[in-house]
Amino acid sequence: MDGKLEYTIFVRSVMESQRGTKLKAVSLFSGAGGMDLGFKNAGYDLIAAYDYMKPMVDTYNKNLGGAIQLDLSSCDFSLIADKIKSKDDVDILIGGPPCQGFTSAGTRFWDDPRNSLVRNYVDALKHFHPRWFVMENVEGILTTARGIYLYETIKKMVELGYSVFIRKIYMQEYGVPQRRKRVFIVGNNEGKKYSFPKPVTPASGRIYRDSVATLRNAIEDLQDVYDSDFDQEPHREKGIKLRRIETLEPGQSMKDLPRELQHKSFKRRAFRRVMDGTPSAKRGGAPNGLRRLVYDEPCLTITSASPNEFVHPVRNRMLTIRECARVQTFPDEFRFFGKKNDRIVQIGNAVPPKFAEQLAKSINISDMNESEISPGLISYDLSKTAARSSALMRTEKMLGELTNNQLSFNY
């Protein structure tokens, strides 16, 4: 038996004998349950989940059960925590509060009501006081509001007595067939050392032909089967959109089409500039519009727009909802509920269950560490590249203050 696997089995058996039960998790901003499914597969007991959107709660309950529809921007977490903790201990709090991208700054940043969702996640930490927590967010949180958003969030977590670890995760490194970057913040209040799971595949270079993290391995077997979420065949395009699709080669997008096939808004969007003067077309975002995917590479990031923008690698149609779910590593038996737009939003917003399971297992192992460290920001890894934007450098400098200063807090 592989030594690492043997050690993992030993650790989990010791934990079970010590606790006599599974680690208990509470989920906030649970969405359709991508992160929760990963934690469940890793052996955690999901004792409660909360989200505001009814279609997401319906999906969660049909597949996992135990979700409650609740407005997390205005609820009283002290009452919720007291009710749950009267029955169960809470080992870990998981969730991904939306980063709303506001530019408020200064001493009143944390009091700004527009920043309520992340602030309420931290408020939940205060009342649940779990031993561990996991918070997921888009990479924009690293530079939003000149870094103050992230800085204030971490500062509050440390004030609550947590040792905090931050990393930007590249999902294709973990067997997820998708170029998806997300920020994960993991913390514990027991002074435990923690290491994020080790990548299984490099995120760059010509390495994908022998990798499981390719679009081909994710969806090739689906071919033209009907989209089972809607009990109908994939939508067949016609007219100029079909001509555009037929013209696109793998890896090409709207900008590669002949001028007569480009959307009339393409030229205007291509030269739209953002505040720092860089054309948006050079920033990796719009205006790609339609893009034909490449089979032997990871897919581009799945979002709510993917079924309208991503062309199948070899077939002249768009990706289906089920194909998007495959790329997000949801199993085929996982069913999504609500209108079509509700379903793709659920899929696009989810944490890929395959990565979430690896993350959950890494916490299981770390939980066996002896208490060795004090509350504070212990480590942060915000980019794989040596080059840093001025915005990211500013954030790193601010976070450095939390790691270098010996601060004293009242818990």
pTM of the model: 0.86
Long-range contacts of 231-238 (CB under 8 A, 24+ apart): 234/317, 234/318, 234/320, 235/317, 235/318, 236/317, 237/316, 237/317, 237/318
| Triad 220, 222, 227: Cα angle to 5° | 140
Which has the minimum average pLDDT: 168-177, 209-218, 332-341? 209-218
Q: What are the pLDDT digits (tens) for 221-264?
A: 987 655 555 555 566 788 888 999 999 999 999 888 888 888 77
Q: Which one is the CATH code of 208-348: 1.10.3470, 3.10.350, 3.40.1580, 3.90.120?
A: 3.90.120
Q: What are the pLDDT digits (tens) for 55-108?
A: 999 999 999 999 999 999 888 999 999 999 888 889 999 999 876 554 444 445
Nearest CA-CA partner of 359 in 371, 349, 367: 367
Beta bridge partners of 136: 184
Where exactly are the structural domains of the chain? Answer: 3-203+352-404, 208-348
* 3-state SS, residue 50: strand
Which has the minimum average pLDDT: 185-199, 223-237, 394-408? 223-237
**Domain 3-203+352-404, CATH class in plain words:** alpha beta
Beta bridge partners of 48: 26
Catalytic site positions:
99
**Alpha carbon distance 129, 126 (integer Å):** 5
Q: What are the pLDDT digits (tens) for 140-175?
A: 889 888 888 899 899 999 999 999 999 999 999 999
